[in-house]
Amino acid sequence: MAWAGWGAGPAGAGSAGGPSRAFLWALAAVGAAIAAALWKDGRASGALFSAAAAAYFALRASGVLGPRKDDE
């Protein structure tokens, strides 16, 4: 199947069901680590942005946001 680009209907991004829960948890962990490193460096605005991203990915991974997924 040829790549149709992002958001190009049924053949576009997310046609395979979206990211796995493990991938979303990994993104949440990396986002939290980056937020901690930025906070330690005194870069509060970047740390808060990264913390918000980590929270978003954790909510997606837990099924609170987005489509609910069965345990994989």
Total domains present in the chain: 1
In a domain, 45, yes or no: yes
In a domain, 72, yes or no: no
In a domain, 28, yes or no: yes
In a domain, 22, yes or no: yes
Which tens digit of pLDDT belongs to each residue from 15-59?
Answer: 566 788 999 999 999 999 999 999 999 999 999 999 999 999 999
DSSP 8-state secondary structure symbol assigned to residue 11:
G
Contacts of 34 (CB under 8 A, 6+ apart): 50, 54
What pLDDT is recorded for position 70?
57
In a domain, 13, yes or no: no
In a domain, 41, yes or no: yes
Residue of higher predicted confidence among 72 and 33:
33
Q: Is the dihedral of CA 54, 23, 30, 8 positive or negative?
A: negative
